[in-house]
């Protein structure tokens, strides 16, 4: 199976008994998600302190902006330099959690409980896509990979065109906003299928055990992506029905 961008530098073919396993990848993915959740909770708490006027807003904003930059760099390093996959993965999870924690808190202030609903929805999407993959209903074939690549390029073009045509998202009709957000979620869900196939390939081909961190990082990136768009679409739906 050919590797996508997220798994490009994962080497396979090791003869050592110290090889990557599904259990190892799963445990490391849970560790990264737990770190993301913990840093998100801490960030959300401090954001509420800042909003109440008891905290330093400038410091908080500086940390928030820095975390978004650090998470992006850490993701690139973790995917391309396998020897740094473990520290890069941990740094990514903590810094990404800071950004997600701030975003979730702001959305939750507008729509109480939306963060939990988004997390539950992502878990549901993950479970459905895993079942579709497990029962061979959707497989990451060469044609599927080409379709996913074309899908991703189309999304980039769509973002550029809509950004040029509209100054802000409020100019979109509610139905169009929800439709666009659904497309982004669909791309993330299909990306999980590609991830599952590649993880199976990494394990079956005997990748070194250190590669478990790189694989876990790939899954964490996809799940964080889906979470952001699920959070957004739930917010727009709540706003639409809340106005009625």
pLDDT tier, 107 (very low <50, low <70, confident <90, very high otherwise): very high
Q: State whether residue 4 is helix, strand or coil.
A: coil
User: Phi-psi region for residue 81, left (φ > 0), alpha (ψ -120 to 50) or beta?
Assistant: beta
Give the Å distances, CA to CA, from 97 to 131, 220, 222, 225: 27, 11, 14, 12
The whole-angstrom separation of Cα 109 and Cα 122 is 20
- pLDDT classification of 6: cutoffs 50, 70, 90: very low
Q: Alpha-carbon Rg of the chain, whole angstroms?
A: 19
Half-sphere exposure of 17 (CA within 13 A, CB side): 0
Nearest 5°: CA angle at 72, between 69 and 73?
90
Instruction: Give this prediction's pTM.
Output: 0.88
Q: What percent of the chain has pLDDT over 70?
A: 88
């Amino acid at each position: 199976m050919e590797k996508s961008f997220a798994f490009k530098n994962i080497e396979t073919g090791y003869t050592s008994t110290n090889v990557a396993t599904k259990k190892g990848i799963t445990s490391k993915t849970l560790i990264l998600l737990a770190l993301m959740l913990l840093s998100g909770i801490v960030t959300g708490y401090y954001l509420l302190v800042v909003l109440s006027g008891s905290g330093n807003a400038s410091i908080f904003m500086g940390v928030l902006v820095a975390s978004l930059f650090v998470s992006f760099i850490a993701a690139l390093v973790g995917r391309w330099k396998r020897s740094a996959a473990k520290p890069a993965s941990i740094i990514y999870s903590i810094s990404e959690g800071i950004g997600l924690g701030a975003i979730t808190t702001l959305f939750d202030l507008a729509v109480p409980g939306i963060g939990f609903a988004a997390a539950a929805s992502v878990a549901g999407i993950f479970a459905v896509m895993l079942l579709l993959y497990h029962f061979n209903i959707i497989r990451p074939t060469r044609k599927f990979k080409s379709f996913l690549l074309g899908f991703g390029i189309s999304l980039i073009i769509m973002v550029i065109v809509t950004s040029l045509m509209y100054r802000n998202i409020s100019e979109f009709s509610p139905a169009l906003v929800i439709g666009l957000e659904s497309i982004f979620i669909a791309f993330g869900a299909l990306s999980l299928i590609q991830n599952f196939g590649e993880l199976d390939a990494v394990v079956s081909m005997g990748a070194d055990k250190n590669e478990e961190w790189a694989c876990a990082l790939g899954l964490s990136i996809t799940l964080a992506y889906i979470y952001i768009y699920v959070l957004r679409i739930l917010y727009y739906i709540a706003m639409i029905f809340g106005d009625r």
